[in-house]
């Protein structure tokens, strides 16, 4: 039966999640209709050493490509950009973050470029920033953060030149350019009048006076992220510093020295804030935080990571004002226990994601049973050394819809606790139990895990028998990380590679596997794309070539 094009498009988009870029190409050959649908769906191409051989075919066949991203690529960026330019594609987004050098942009790329990212690029120089402004005058989003540019860092003159050419800029991240001063930020605010988001972390020579100017002058500013506020002697904000930024909905002041007086200025300004990040701040007090939260009871995102003064009793007071939260982070608040966790879960009914890592979770004698099921989808509670199976069981009962769960480095957890989580949380797609040394086996895994796609079990006592159970119960497994699992041998690896036919990534660092297994793995399971071998293994050039022909790479670590 023929399906409507809308249905085929949904199917194609699902298939397009396969990042080797070959699936859509095959489908596009079936018919003119499928080619048309594939062209609508395929808008992004990620260039890696592995996908480079398919680039030319994609440029010829998919005319709707708008975004190109370089990742794990060690070839000639300039020649690739020239090839893209000659293809006639009208690119809107280019990401060269982390590359070894900054390419020559002149006469190569579309002048209609809307987004450009070169975060972490080696050897970023002042003339490179000038060329960005000249070549991409229509840019709306720019990321030049944390360049590895020593001994030739970026100075104010480059930012001033850049800002004078980017009149349509909406977002910029200049974090880590630690020699720029107030002059840079003033020029951005004056020249780029449409700016909606500014990020300038780790820029040590930007003053509070300059920040005030930006808050007053950038009338469309919606998001501001800075750090290091208040560390300078005699640095302060005027009483009306925040009164004129009437569009500001996101404020990140992490790693700052925040007084109650400053928090009161922000609170009394009555901004339309939906997101507040105060992680790892000094001088924070409960009174200051309480006053702030009473003024912003519609917050969706709150980050108080590292607020060591917080206690369970304080959380009980704060949670009254947090009913609209969808994200909260109380990680490394060392006094908090499971009492706080369950109070938050009960009161914050819209919560989707919660981080409570490195706390005192698990030391409580008992915490109340909840009458409602939480809708939390992502839960990060790693590094809680007192967290035990009983508490994990209770969490799984009250958070049955969780999709991502990280309980790594909780040594008191055993295989029984993990099995209860797997049994109760049927929506689970990603599980991290790395460093949980109490997990010795998963022998009782006698039920299907139809949605589990990612399992990280690094540094556990999982062995071949456990891999056998996993291979039989996890048909959709895509990523398996077994780094440091000393009991895993070639026999267990073969079983899981054969059974999990969708497996794409596997980390075998420090596992007891034979050198000759890797060719067999790729031949036995064509879906494999990344393999991390044991540290002592040194692949030959012939092995690299063989794996690349099969669309797979062997590398030292999977990001």
The 10s digit of each residue's pLDDT in 220-275 is: 999 999 998 877 656 789 999 999 999 999 999 999 999 999 999 999 999 999 99
- pLDDT band at residue 343 using 50, 70 and 90 as cut-offs: very high
Two tokens, residue 35: 């080619």
- What is the separation of C-alpha 150 from the centre of its chain, rounded to a whole number of angstroms? 27
Which has more confidence, 72 or 173? 173
Provide the pLDDT for residue 331.
98
This prediction's pTM: 0.90
Rounded CA-CA distance 491/176 in Å is 47
Helix axes 415-424, 389-398, angle to 10 degrees: 10
- Please name the residues in contact with 373: beta carbons below 8 A apart, sequence gap of 6 or more: 398, 399, 400, 401
Can you tell me whether residue 437 is helix, strand or coil? coil
**CB atoms < 10 A from the CB of 541, how many?**
7
Longest Cα–Cα distance in the chain? 74
Q: Which residues does residue 205 pair with via DSSP β-bridges, in sequence order? A: 181
Closest to 152 in 3D by CA, of 199, 201, 102: 102
Provide the pLDDT for residue 65.
82
- Please name the residues in contact with 49: beta carbons below 8 A apart, sequence gap of 6 or more: 72, 73, 74, 75, 548, 553
- What is the separation of C-alpha 111 from the centre of its chain, rounded to a whole number of angstroms? 29
Two tokens, residue 318: 């704060």
- Asked if residue 94 lies in contact with residue 66, where contact means CB atoms within 8 angstroms, the answer is no
* Residue labelled with tokens 């000249």: 134
Which has more confidence, 310 or 47? 310
pLDDT at 386 over 60: yes
Provide the pLDDT for residue 559.
45
Q: What is the pLDDT averaged over residues 124-128?
A: 90
Q: pLDDT tens-digit profile of 10-61?
A: 766 666 655 444 565 556 666 666 666 666 666 788 888 877 877 887 787 7
Closest to 210 in 3D by CA, of 184, 179, 177, 248: 184
Closest to 166 in 3D by CA, of 202, 190, 145: 190
Rounded CA-CA distance 469/491 in Å is 13
- Asked if residue 313 lies in contact with residue 338, where contact means CB atoms within 8 angstroms, the answer is no
Rounded CA-CA distance 116/119 in Å is 9
- pLDDT band at residue 1 using 50, 70 and 90 as cut-offs: very low
Closest to 281 in 3D by CA, of 212, 318, 237, 333: 333
């Amino acid at each position: 039966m023929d399906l409507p094009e809308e249905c085929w498009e949904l199917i194609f988009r699902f298939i397009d999640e396969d990042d080797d870029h070959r699936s859509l190409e095959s489908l596009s050959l079936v018919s003119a209709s499928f080619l048309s649908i594939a062209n609508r769906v395929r808008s992004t191409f990620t260039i890696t050493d592995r996908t480079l051989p398919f680039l030319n075919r994609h440029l010829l066949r998919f005319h709707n490509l708008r975004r190109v991203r370089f990742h794990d690529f060690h070839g000639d960026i300039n020649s690739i950009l020239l090839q893209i330019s000659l293809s006639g594609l009208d690119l809107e987004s280019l990401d060269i973050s982390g590359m070894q050098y900054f390419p020559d942009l002149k006469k190569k790329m579309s002048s209609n470029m809307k987004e450009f990212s070169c975060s972490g690029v080696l050897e970023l120089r002042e003339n490179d920033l000038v060329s960005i402004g000249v070549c991409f005058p229509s840019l709306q989003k720019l990321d030049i953060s944390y360049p590895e540019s020593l001994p030739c860092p970026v100075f104010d003159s480059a930012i001033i030149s850049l800002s004078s050419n980017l009149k349509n800029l909406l977002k910029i991240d200049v974090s880590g350019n630690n020699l720029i001063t107030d002059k840079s930020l003033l020029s951005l605010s004056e020249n780029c009048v449409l700016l909606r988001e500014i990020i300038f972390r780790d820029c040590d020579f930007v003053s509070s006076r300059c920040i005030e100017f930006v808050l007053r002058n950038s009338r469309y500013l919606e998001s501001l992220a800075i750090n290091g506020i208040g560390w300078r002697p005699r640095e302060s904000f005027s009483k009306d510093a925040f009164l004129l930024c009437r569009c500001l909905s996101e404020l990140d002041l992490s790693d700052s020295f925040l007084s109650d007086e400053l928090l009161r200025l922000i609170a009394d300004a009555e901004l339309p804030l939906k997101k507040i990040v105060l992680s790892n701040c000094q001088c924070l007090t409960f009174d200051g935080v309480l006053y702030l939260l009473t003024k912003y009871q519609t917050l969706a995102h709150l980050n108080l990571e590292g607020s060591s003064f917080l206690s369970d009793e304080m959380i009980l007071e704060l949670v009254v004002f947090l009913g609209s939260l969808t994200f909260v982070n109380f990680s490394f608040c060392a006094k908090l226990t499971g009492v706080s966790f369950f109070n938050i879960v009960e009161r914050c009914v819209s919560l989707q994601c919660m981080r409570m890592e490195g706390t005192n979770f698990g030391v409580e004698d008992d915490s109340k049973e909840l009458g409602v099921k939480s809708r939390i989808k992502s839960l990060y509670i790693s590094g809680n050394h007192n967290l035990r199976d009983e508490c994990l069981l209770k969490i799984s009962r009250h958070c049955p819809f969780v999709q991502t769960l990280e309980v790594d480095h909780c040594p008191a957890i055993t295989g029984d606790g993990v099995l209860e989580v797997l049994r109760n949380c049927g929506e689970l797609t990603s599980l991290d139990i790395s460093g949980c040394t109490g997990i010795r086996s998963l022998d009782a895994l006698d039920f299907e895990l139809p949605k589990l796609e990612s399992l990280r079990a690094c540094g556990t006592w999982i062995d071949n028998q456990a891999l056998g159970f996993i291979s039989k119960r996890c048909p959709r497994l895509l990523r398996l990380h077994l780094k440091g699992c000393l009991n895993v041998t070639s026999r267990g690896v073969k079983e899981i590679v054969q059974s999990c036919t969708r497996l794409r990534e596997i980390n075998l660092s420090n596992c007891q596997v034979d050198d000759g297994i890797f060719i067999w793995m790729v031949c036995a399971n064509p879906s494999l794309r990344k393999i991390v071998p044991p540290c002592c293994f040194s692949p030959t050039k012939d092995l690299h070539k063989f794996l690349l022909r099969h669309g797979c790479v062997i590398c030292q670590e999977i990001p």
